Structure 1
Amino acid sequence: MLKQADIRAQREQWFIECARELLDEQGYDSMSMNELAESASFTKRTLYQYFKNKREVYLAVVASDLLALEAVLHASLSACETGRERYLSWLVAFLGYVREQPRAYERIFGFEEHDFHIDRAVDEGDVFLSRCIEIHHRITGGTLEQIEAGQRDGSISSERLPCEIMLAVWAAMVGVIRVVSIRRDQLEMGYSTTTDVLFEMLMGMINSVIDGEV
């Protein structure tokens, strides 16, 4: 027999999965708590026992997206030896996640843009925001760990601070991802290129950064 805590966890996860489908289909502004309760086959009263408002639902989905991304990133490291290999594999895995889960990436990007601050103080009652920030810190820490490992073993020759490398690479990736998102339907016909080519060029730029050429 399931314990009450297990039932609650399963029900919360079910609400999150239903919310993800609605968010993917309609976006945040169009989704309502009434619609979510109906989609999950529960009353709105039951839904409010788990989430205070739509923002909490959204952050719960973002936390789930971040967990999925974190798992993909760590899975990419299994066959790597040097820090450089680990870091590049980590980045390729991230780009793969972006291509396979574009709506999840957009939610994560929105969270980073509007809700995340590296030193942000969070109220104890803001459970889902705290969850998002905790996972985000772990992913950031993992990114820095790969860069630092590469600098220690000499496979990353840049003498820049690990955080500088991380931020410069992140800025380049966000820029290319944004261009691909905006021009996705026009790349081949309008620009005679593809997402694969742009991502390949991006990785070339990243190699220049970690080789200390910039």
Structure 2
Amino acid sequence: MGVQERQQKEKMILDAAIRLFTEKGFAATTMDDVAKSAKISKGLTYFYFKNKEDLYLAMTKKAFDELKDVFREVYKNKARTGLDMITELANNYVKFARGSRIYYQAVLDFLGTVQLYNDEHLRQKINPLILQSEHFQKLLEMHHDCAKIGAQMVALGTKDGSIRAELNPEVAFYTVWAMLIGFEKLMGPVSYEPKDTKIQLETWKPGFTKLLQDMLKGTFQAVKVQPVQTSLF
């Protein structure tokens, strides 16, 4: 079997798995389902992917590749300031998260798995089939790639004056990334009615962007509260 044919069959199987993971969820999907959807024998499916976990990690790698493309697309236009890049990236990141749900969830799942992997005691909680997948090691090697591009955007901003010069690019970008993950996760709760808090998604989104920009530009200022004389009655 030639390389091109092998790659073609791998793609057919992976595409089928992604469709099923999206429609049915990971737990409800079986390798039989994948083989039938891909119109490939079950034996051949196992030849290319050891198990369902291996397939999910292959999809996760594809998800990181797609997310990296989002970063690259923003960074390639060097005519803008670093702050403009980060602002555009924030908007495109949320679009990716909302528009590619299965990919974005796979990214978050892997980041959570890495947190367990870094602790020898917690590592035992990871499914052994995940650790045995060849895609797992590849993901360990590449999962910082997006942040590296993001840090380059921050570094560019510190040079062109749009971002505070004293910021560490890596620390600053990982802080931005943490904010974006939190923002995306809270979009649902903020949009849900009824709620006691006086906040709407339409006003929160521009407010979040402004706060992010102010943090990077350094326009935060400590305000000294002046004592006010007043009467309770």
TM-score of the two chains, using structure 2 as the length reference = 0.78
Distance change in 2, residues 1:167/1:99 (3 Å): same
**Alignment-derived partner of residue 111 in structure 1:** 110
**Alignment-derived partner of residue 198 in structure 1:** 204
Q: Which amino acid aligns with 2:84?
A: E
Q: Is the 8 A contact 1:173 1:202 kept in 2?
A: no
Q: Which runs of 5 or more residues in structure 2 are unaligned?
A: 120-129, 221-233
Q: Is the 8 A contact 1:151 1:157 kept in 2?
A: yes
Is it true that 1:5 corresponds to 2:12 in the alignment? no
Bigger Rg, which one: 2
Provide Cα deviations, 1:16-56, integer angstroms capped at 9, x if missing partner.
11111111112111111111111111111101111111111
Q: Which runs of 5 or more residues in structure 1 are unaligned?
A: none
**Alignment-derived partner of residue 162 in structure 1:** 169
**Alignment-derived partner of residue 44 in structure 1:** 42
TM-score of the two chains, using structure 1 as the length reference = 0.84
Q: Which amino acid aligns with 1:175?
A: G
**Alignment-derived partner of residue 159 in structure 2:** 152
Q: Is the 8 A contact 1:67 1:135 kept in 2?
A: no
Shift of 1:104: 1.8
Q: Which amino acid aligns with 1:92?
A: N
Question: 1 CA distance for matches of 2:7 and 2:187?
Answer: 37
Q: CA RMSD in A?
A: 2.7
Shift of 1:169: 1.6
Distance change in 2, residues 1:179/1:54 (3 Å): same
Question: 1 CA distance for matches of 2:179 and 2:113?
Answer: 20
Q: Which amino acid aligns with 2:33?
A: E
Is it true that 1:100 corresponds to 2:99 in the alignment? yes
Shift of 1:87: 2.3
Provide Cα deviations, 1:128-183, integer angstroms capped at 9, x if missing partner.
12333344222111111111111122211152322221222222222121111355
Residue 176 of structure 1, aligned match among 159, 176, 183: 183
Distance change in 2, residues 1:118/1:154 (3 Å): farther
Aligned residues between the structures: 208
Question: 1 CA distance for matches of 2:131 and 2:101?
Answer: 31
Distance change in 2, residues 1:149/1:28 (3 Å): same
Identity %: 21
Q: Which amino acid aligns with 2:73?
A: A
Q: Which amino acid aligns with 1:166?
A: F
Question: 2 CA distance for matches of 1:30 and 1:107?
Answer: 16
